Amino acid sequence: MTFHITVHDRVADIGKAEWDGCAGPSGDPFLSFDFLDACEASGSAVPRQGWAGRHLCVRDDQRRVTGVMPLWLKGHSQGEYVFDHSWADAYERAGGQYYPKLLGAVPFTPVTGPRFLAHPFADETTVRLALLQGATALVERLGVSSLHVNFPTQGDWRTMGEAGLLLREDMQYVWRNDGYGTFDDFLAALSSSRRKTIRRERRDAQAGLDIRVLTGRDIEPAHWDAFFAFYMDTGERKWGRPYLTRDFFDRIGATMADRIALVMAFRDGAPIAGALNFIGDEALYGRQWGALDEVPFLHFELCYYQAIEFAIARGLSRVEAGAQGEHKIARGYLPSPVYSAHWIADPALREPVARYLDGERPAVEAEIAVMAQELSPFRKS
């Protein structure tokens, strides 16, 4: 079968119907046209910020769109959550040019999902290979150093390994719903000391506050105004430059409100903190959070415990609370592997990176096993 691969600067150039025809079956809100278009149209992921779209579109010989891939020409490694800064530094010290590079990922979003998106009428394996070949060919065509595919599914990861990409493994912390009917059912699965600690944390965090989970039409522009203030305050303190613009939140509020769970804390009617979650077909995804007042344990309440309650009420299988944070384990979020794959053009860089990753992967797997065994808050069976 003949395929035609085209490269597009924006997902809008491919079109909502065509993009969602391929991305929609995944149930992943971050792969939707609305989310990616909001990143681009709001000025959050654009060339001047180091994110230049090079999205791939595969058409068959009848010109039907059979697959798409979110792909970016990156001028830095910020907002990716897979850290290759040391590779870049070493290569540039040796006289190479690491940037720009190609990145297959969702901007600012460390969430596992398919990266090669096939339309249901197409053969998934064939489309996946066509997109992967298109992405690696684009490395050569553009003369860039490398291709990096971050947070793919394990199946995509293995396919890329078979195609010669270097494989990397890391961990995140995930809460899994073991058929709980209520939050108390979840607590009953924990050790007695952890149950007491979590109840105390929730009691202290909720004291004097009105905590609401807003979704759909309940989310108003004033809520976004407040949340953006929280986001900017936290972002400026943590990493210096928040990525998302105020317009981004207006756009997702207009197009994705039913896929958003915005947890807000109010004191005397005034919002003081919030946590933004996206609702997938099977999971709740915690993203940004912020607070203007210091309240003990409020971060745990808004980001972790409220998310668990929401997931139980909606019958979702898990909560993915984002990157990093060993403290999540004590709240029921256990370590789980996440993946990335890397195509590096220059053997002078590729070979030492390959050796490094061959040692890193088993170390990460061993760390996951030890942490899950020794730090788990769940009762021993």
> Same structural domain for residues 134 and 29?
yes
> Same structural domain for residues 25 and 68?
yes
- What pLDDT, on a 0 to 100 scale, did the predictor assign at position 1? 62
Residue type, 251: R
> Same structural domain for residues 155 and 135?
yes
Q: What is the widest separation between alpha-carbon atoms in the chain?
A: 65
Please tell me what DSSP assigns to residue 128: H
Please tell me what DSSP assigns to residue 182: S
189 belongs to a structural domain: yes
At 205, list the tokens.
């965090």
Half-sphere exposure in the Cβ direction for 267 (13 Å, CA): 13
- What pLDDT, on a 0 to 100 scale, did the predictor assign at position 236? 67
45 belongs to a structural domain: yes
At 65, list the tokens.
């769109």
pTM over 0.75: yes
> Same structural domain for residues 21 and 139?
yes
Q: Under a CB-based contact definition with an 8 Å cutoff, are residues 55 and 106 in contact? A: no
* Sheet hosting strand 117-118, strand order edge to edge: 4-8, 55-59, 65-69, 117-118
322 belongs to a structural domain: no
254 belongs to a structural domain: yes
282 belongs to a structural domain: yes
> Same structural domain for residues 24 and 102?
yes
- What pLDDT, on a 0 to 100 scale, did the predictor assign at position 323? 82
Q: Residue 298 sits in a domain of what CATH number?
A: 3.40.630.30
Q: For residue 110, is the peptide bond before it cis, meaning its omega torsion is within 30 degrees of 0?
A: no
327 belongs to a structural domain: no
88 belongs to a structural domain: yes
> Same structural domain for residues 164 and 131?
yes
Helix, strand or coil for residue 138? Answer: helix
> Same structural domain for residues 165 and 224?
no
> Same structural domain for residues 149 and 286?
no
> Same structural domain for residues 287 and 352?
no
**In angstroms, what CA-CA distances link 240 with 77, 220, 236?**
15, 28, 4
> Same structural domain for residues 281 and 204?
yes
User: Across-strand partners of 103?
Assistant: 72, 148
Nearest alpha-carbon partner for 259 in 34, 16, 39, 21 = 34
Angle formed by the axes of helices 33-41 and 16-23, nearest 10°: 130
> Same structural domain for residues 104 and 165?
yes
- Cα-Cα-Cα-Cα torsion 297, 302, 305, 308, nearest 10 degrees, comes to -160
Integer Cα distance of 320 and 28 in angstroms:
12
How much of the chain is in helix, strand and coil states, percent to nearest 5?
A: 45, 25, 30
- What pLDDT, on a 0 to 100 scale, did the predictor assign at position 380? 84
**Successive 10-residue mean pLDDT values, the chain, 381 residues:** 91 98 97 98 97 97 96 96 96 97 97 98 95 97 98 97 98 97 98 98 98 98 97 72 93 98 98 98 96 95 98 98 90 97 98 98 97 93 69
Helix, strand or coil for residue 69? Answer: strand
> Same structural domain for residues 287 and 189?
yes
At 57, list the tokens.
């579109």
DSSP calls for 269-333: TEEEEEEEEEE-SSEEEEEEEEESS--TTHHHIIIIIHHHHHHHHHT-SEEE--S--GGGGGGT-
- What pLDDT, on a 0 to 100 scale, did the predictor assign at position 366? 97
How many domains would you assign to the chain?
2
Q: Under a CB-based contact definition with an 8 Å cutoff, are residues 135 and 112 in contact? A: no
Please tell me what DSSP assigns to residue 181: S
330 belongs to a structural domain: no
At 84, list the tokens.
């290759």
- What pLDDT, on a 0 to 100 scale, did the predictor assign at position 362? 98
Q: Which domain holds residue 79?
A: 4-170+337-374
Q: How many residues does the chain have?
A: 381
